[in-house]
Amino acid sequence: MRFLVIEGNIGAGKTTLAKKMAQEFNAKLVLEQFADNPFLPKFYNDKERYSFPLELSFLADRYNQIKKQVLDLDLFHPFLIADYYFAKSAIFAQNTLKDDEYHLFRQIFDIIFESMPKPDLYVYLHADSKKLLKNIEMRGREYERNIDPEYLEKIRQGYFNFFKQITTFPILVIDTNKIDFVHNEEHFRLLKDAIFKSDYKLGINRLIL
């Protein structure tokens, strides 16, 4: 495996898992730098005005980071783990932009997506809204305080709609509702084995742990 993506809805634990996996296997770790986006605070103050420039800036940042890091994989790390994939831009933009803005955004996205490195395996950590909201509350980020179950459901549906379109790399959807891979080492090993000790077909694969 050269390129592993670990994704999930807000609060699914994707960054935590990516960090644990990278440490376990001495893999190169790529984390999304969303907090550094200069449009993010402006967006929270005026979503109507700044949603489109925000999504375009995320698009450019994700493209540059993923493509550069995958191509620059060095001899000191056996493979790369990222806690997001380029397609995240389209999934979130669909819930942020007006229809005409999203149509333009999607045209740009589709052109760029064709040239993106494809992951050897794309893992999606699935959890229901109740568990996600609990995790979000525990980590206490101020800008996430007003996230509601309806928004999380829209994001989940966006991911699943994206998965149906993919035939060029394997997607593993893992139901994590009954495990706690952050605090339970046995659960972490179960998850690790599911990811690394099985082969998965192109398109969607599903697993309940």
pLDDT tens sequence across 141-192: 776 777 889 989 999 999 999 999 999 999 999 999 999 999 999 999 999 9
In the predicted structure, residue 140 carries a pLDDT above the cut 80? no
Q: Name 15's Cβ contacts closer than 8 Å, sequence gap at least 6.
A: 31, 32, 83
Phi/psi for 202 (5° steps) reads -65, 145
Distance separating alpha carbons of residues 193 and 197, to the nearest angstrom: 5
Contact 208, 193 (CB under 8 A): no
Point out the catalytic residue in the list 46, 72, 74, 83: 83
Query: At 35, is the pLDDT very low, low, confident or very high (cuts 50, 70, 90)?
Result: low
Range of the domain at 25: 3-208
- What pTM was computed for the model? 0.90
Q: Residue 8: which of 137, 158, 147 has the closest Cα?
A: 158
**Structure confidence at residue 23 (pLDDT):** 94
The structural domain count of the chain equals: 1
CATH number for the domain spanning 163: value is: 3.40.50.300
**Structure confidence at residue 75 (pLDDT):** 67
100 is catalytic: no
Mean pLDDT is highest, among 46-50, 123-127, 144-148, for 123-127
**Structure confidence at residue 43 (pLDDT):** 80
